[in-house]
Amino acid sequence: MQWVNGEPVQYLVFDRLEQGRGLRHFVSTREGGVSEGSYRSLNVAFHVGDERGRVRANRERLAQATGVPLEWWVCADQVHGTQVAVVTARDRGRGSRDPAAALAATDGLVTRNPDVCCVVQVADCVPILLYEPQARIVGALHVGWRGLAGGVLEAGLRQVRELGGEAERLLVGLGPAIGGCCFEVGDEVVEALNERTNMAQPGLKSRQDEPGKWRVNLSAVCATILRGQGVPAENMEDGAFCTCCRDNGRFFSARREGTETGRMAAGIMLRGL
């Protein structure tokens, strides 16, 4: 990944996706906004308790910096579930300024329509951006451990295939998320993830000093599942930033700061040619 200075907004882009023809994408940080306190500064989420006027101002700043107008954003009411929606030009603007208009109970968005930006919000969960260059399909997924165990990745790839895409052609960006260094969980989480993947997880590491405690690298588990679904390893790019401990002035982290903190946005769209 590489940093982009949108002055005053700072955001990230994936090297592989930057090479995509007629593609625009971004992963925001907490830099360059107007929110205060625990939401400092570029909080883009309405649901966390921040003042709505500040959230709208932050979104406008991000939209201006990335060149993706809010009128093109499509946002969802994320519930750590497995619903992935196919969105079209009719959905443009949903949830971008009014949270009541967001897609209900949805954790992933895919589209074949140009100038429709699929946007998800995160603060430790993995933001995953998808691009199928031949079928011209893009998507954004919000992936926490519950969604991962429930099958949100498989649901996202299923929608891509139904639109005419193939997993073997997908380019995938896994954005900043909590790392295995910081995400400590109990046996129940490990059992849920192992049931989904049916294999020993390279993203799991037990704590020798406390039985029943594990550290999970969610991005590594995501990559394992994606490979099992047919996505080539060389087509995936991992941002490799831990939102909880690495450069923690630049990322929001619910694990580090509690749930009443800000959220970052990850978005992707096809540009009208």
Residue 14 has pLDDT above 70, yes or no: yes
Residue 198 has pLDDT above 60, yes or no: no
How is domain 2-177+238-270 classified at the CATH fold level? Answer: CNF1/YfiH-like putative cysteine hydrolases (3.60.140)
Query: What is the chain's mean pLDDT, rounded?
Result: 92
pLDDT in tens, 74-131: 999 999 999 999 999 999 999 999 999 999 999 999 999 999 999 999 999 999 999 9
- Confidence (pLDDT) at 258: 85
- Confidence (pLDDT) at 71: 97
3-state DSSP of the chain: CEEEECCCCEEEECHHHHCCCCEEEEEECCCCCCCCHHHCCCCCCCCCCCCHHHHHHHHHHHHHHHCCCHHHEECECCCCCCCEEECCHHHCCCCCCCHHHCECCCCEEEECCECCEEEEEECCCEEEEEEECCCCEEEEEEECHHHHHHCHHHHHHHHHHHCCCCHHHCEEEECCECCCCCCEEEHHHHHHHHHHHCCCCCCEEECCCCCCEEEECHHHHHHHHHHHCCCCHHHEEECCCECCCCCCCCCCCHHHHCCCCCCEEEEEEECCC
Q: How far from 244 is each of 5, 126, 176, 181, 256, CA to CA, in Å?
A: 22, 12, 10, 9, 6
Residue 43 has pLDDT above 90, yes or no: yes
> Do residues 67 and 11 touch, judged by C-beta distance below 8 A?
no
Q: Minimum mean pLDDT among 179-183, 192-196, 240-244: which range?
A: 192-196
Taking the C-alpha atoms of residue 205 and residue 190, their distance in angstroms, rounded to an integer, is 10
Q: Minimum mean pLDDT among 25-39, 95-109, 134-148, 196-210: which range?
A: 196-210
pLDDT in tens, 256-272: 998 889 999 999 999 98
- Confidence (pLDDT) at 233: 96
- Confidence (pLDDT) at 248: 61
> Do residues 68 and 92 touch, judged by C-beta distance below 8 A?
no
Residue ranges per domain, the chain? 2-177+238-270
- What radius of gyration do the chain's Cα atoms show? 17
Distance of CA 62 to the CA centre of its chain: 16
φ and ψ of 56, to 5 deg: -60, -40
pLDDT band at 50 (very low <50, low <70, confident <90, very high): very high
pLDDT band at 201 (very low <50, low <70, confident <90, very high): low
Contacts of 89 (CB under 8 A, 6+ apart): 113, 115, 116
Task: At 80, list the tokens.
Answer: 């750590």
* Residues above pLDDT 70, as percent of the chain: 94
pLDDT in tens, 205-253: 666 567 778 888 999 999 999 999 999 999 999 988 899 986 667 999 9
